[in-house]
Structure 1
């Protein structure tokens, strides 16, 4: 039995309606929400789930499977003889091009790779564009295919040790940018492959900052894979910090920032475990490192800075399910000091979680509207935000329900 105490939809005998209800619930959709996405009503969904209505035509079943992101039609129909691969979308329109670039295996080409320094300059512009654009996935999705191909070529064509290390550093950092694009899209296997390639390339580069960034992202991938991967996340962070800490007395701001970001990640994972003291101890250590950075400094990949520590405090409190403390930290933090639009939107989502925990749903919705204004593509891919919106779309308070429904339409959760 899964931890959510719902039946396994793959175990027979379970009829179509029961499978539909289980899969809908696991996706966090209400009957009205699913009905809206299908151009139908919530009562139509209820009829299917309760068996009052028969299983619909194949084209309707296929549409249901697409909306629910069911990869195998048998998961919904229960017919083990039917194994149809379905679209798991909605993926970003640029996803297919990025997938093709990552999967490419070109060994014979006359194309000359650009210098690693040229790739690094393009990477810097890509990160700057990501932080300033509300449609940041669109921006980096357009840049990634060429960056991936050129960085891979640079590694293959490097013929001197120093040149090869620089090329590996550039390739690892391109994979890091790719992870930001692929996160929360229907390509989890590709995300892991990119994370692993990034870590291997980082080690080949021997560059402390590149190694730290790859470890930071790999730890996040482990943590977000579930509680069974928390130990793996901690192990990656311990190894990375053991490598970086001897370098810190003479390190520049970028390496110091990455070490601080790793310390916060350790605190984040501790908060997921419910370890209050450990979580705040790591936050304190990260904050101490942040205070060593210039006031205007902002790390382009990890966002680590003085400005981000207030946002990190909100995240720790929310993950510890401390509603009052979450709101206190949200009031103490200042999102306007965060220069990155997507990171500012993410902070607003964390604030909304805090207000929801504290029983202030109207403030939570207003904060999510601020997140949408900052970066629509951030909130559109965030499960926490969607959960709040869908929950409040069923509120008994008419004004709140209407406000949530309006936001749900913007996020594509309900039909206009």
Structure 2
């Protein structure tokens, strides 16, 4: 995940906007042509900004740069403490402290008897179901996670046989994966990496293909969210896990086929973030073919991979490739009601909003974000792309649009009433 540290560090003299821009660009591993292309400007424009030959741009452009550079707080880019605004992280859920305490705990000795692994697995399944069905999914799983983490750890420690221990590790890995959904985009990057790495280790110990696939799927996303400098790491774990899973597919259950399909799409997603159009759509096509092998009403209980979600995935690919018209076309063709998960449905509305915004249709983008809020407020509240669109349009020259965006910023929790 991106660092929350100020790139300038403690200095007596304030660091200019252009210097900050250059340091953040280099930290993300972007060239000037790449940064310019991703923001709709030239490499020469970037060079002049960095050298101070151009003045600090207007807020919409600053927000666009912040999105591409994946800064977590606008002060990282502007240096102005009065513009303090977290972009790619929410303020921190009320239950974050409880979940962190459970992750940090190290139960070496206890009188508590671990529940049977089958019972624990049922609790985890119910937790995933609750997450997908609730508009306030972080609140729901935040309440469940402390007990699940403790019991899953104990199930591994108290296992008498090797097969029991492996089964316990599979459940523990899934609990940490659930925790990663809760922790993502909250202001504790170290905690996110702890749960991601523990999920990978427990999955390896379990030797369970599905657990391995899920942990790798989430680790891939964590690396990719770190920005272009981490895309190679995302690809390494993604492709390595696919090489492990693909030989198992002829005899695999639907869960393993689905997680393999989800990982296949992730390769395309990372390629789209790199601007590799052909590779991105080739992997999307392969993932769609895998989705078509699943029952028509199936959806994966963790990733939401299914036939229904492939339209939403197409919107994401088009958006990351900065193809506004194509992303709008895919958004219009996607049956959002067929996506079973409320958080995933909200995520699709946000991606559709990005597409409409890229296509020069800001009013439609704001309407999409309203739909996202209706589906799952806790998804949109922690989404940096949604925040960037709303705050940019709150600066619109059109009075009605500015009012709509400002009202939506309050509704979504980006600004105080």
Once residues 184 and 388 of structure 2 are traced to their aligned partners in structure 1, the CA distance between those partners, rounded to angstroms, is 18
- The alpha-carbon deviation at position 396 of structure 1 amounts to 1.1
- Residue 154 of structure 1 corresponds to which residue in structure 2? 155
Q: Does 1:408 pair with 2:409?
A: yes
Once residues 175 and 192 of structure 2 are traced to their aligned partners in structure 1, the CA distance between those partners, rounded to angstroms, is 13
Taking the TM superposition and a 5 Å limit, the aligned residue runs for 1:143-292 are 143-292=144-293
Considering only CA atoms, is the larger Rg found in Structure 1 or Structure 2? 1
**Structure 2 CA distance for partners of 1:90 and 1:70, relative to 1, 3 Å:** farther
Q: Does 1:139 pair with 2:134?
A: no
1:97-145 deviations in Å (ceiling 9; x for gaps): 0000000012111111011111110011111111110000000000000
Contact 1:171 1:201 in 2 (8 A): yes
- The alpha-carbon deviation at position 12 of structure 1 amounts to 3.3
**Structure 2 CA distance for partners of 1:14 and 1:339, relative to 1, 3 Å:** same
- The alpha-carbon deviation at position 10 of structure 1 amounts to 2.8
**Structure 2 CA distance for partners of 1:368 and 1:259, relative to 1, 3 Å:** same
- Residue 299 of structure 1 corresponds to which residue in structure 2? 300
**Structure 2 CA distance for partners of 1:14 and 1:335, relative to 1, 3 Å:** farther
Once residues 416 and 222 of structure 2 are traced to their aligned partners in structure 1, the CA distance between those partners, rounded to angstroms, is 32
**Structure 2 CA distance for partners of 1:399 and 1:132, relative to 1, 3 Å:** same
**Structure 2 CA distance for partners of 1:89 and 1:290, relative to 1, 3 Å:** closer
Once residues 398 and 107 of structure 1 are traced to their aligned partners in structure 2, the CA distance between those partners, rounded to angstroms, is 61
1:131-161 deviations in Å (ceiling 9; x for gaps): 1100000000000000000000111111201
Give the alignment's TM-score, normalised by structure 1. Answer: 0.81
Contact 1:94 1:142 in 2 (8 A): yes
Once residues 14 and 240 of structure 2 are traced to their aligned partners in structure 1, the CA distance between those partners, rounded to angstroms, is 49
- The alpha-carbon deviation at position 411 of structure 1 amounts to 1.9
Larger relative CO (CA 8 A, sep 6+): 1 or 2?
2
Once residues 161 and 15 of structure 1 are traced to their aligned partners in structure 2, the CA distance between those partners, rounded to angstroms, is 59
Contact 1:69 1:89 in 2 (8 A): no
- Residue 311 of structure 2 corresponds to which residue in structure 1? 310
- The alpha-carbon deviation at position 8 of structure 1 amounts to 5.1
- The alpha-carbon deviation at position 14 of structure 1 amounts to 3.1
Contact 1:9 1:75 in 2 (8 A): no
- The alpha-carbon deviation at position 76 of structure 1 amounts to 5.6
Once residues 359 and 76 of structure 1 are traced to their aligned partners in structure 2, the CA distance between those partners, rounded to angstroms, is 31
- The alpha-carbon deviation at position 181 of structure 1 amounts to 0.1
- The alpha-carbon deviation at position 70 of structure 1 amounts to 8.2
Give the alignment's TM-score, normalised by structure 2. Answer: 0.81
Structure 1 range deviating more: 7-16 or 346-355? 7-16
1:362-411 deviations in Å (ceiling 9; x for gaps): 00000100000000000000000000000000111111111111110012
- Residue 14 of structure 1 corresponds to which residue in structure 2? 13
Once residues 243 and 303 of structure 1 are traced to their aligned partners in structure 2, the CA distance between those partners, rounded to angstroms, is 21
Once residues 388 and 133 of structure 1 are traced to their aligned partners in structure 2, the CA distance between those partners, rounded to angstroms, is 25
Once residues 299 and 256 of structure 1 are traced to their aligned partners in structure 2, the CA distance between those partners, rounded to angstroms, is 10
Once residues 295 and 283 of structure 1 are traced to their aligned partners in structure 2, the CA distance between those partners, rounded to angstroms, is 18
Q: Does 1:111 pair with 2:99?
A: no
Contact 2:280 2:317 in 1 (8 A): yes
Q: Which runs of 5+ in 2 are unaligned?
A: 1-5, 25-55, 57-71, 83-88
- The alpha-carbon deviation at position 9 of structure 1 amounts to 3.7
**Structure 2 CA distance for partners of 1:308 and 1:68, relative to 1, 3 Å:** closer
Give the number of aligned pairs: 355
Once residues 10 and 101 of structure 2 are traced to their aligned partners in structure 1, the CA distance between those partners, rounded to angstroms, is 35
Taking the TM superposition and a 5 Å limit, the aligned residue runs for 1:343-358 are 343-358=344-359
Q: Over the residues paired in the alignment, what is the CA RMSD in angstroms?
A: 2.4
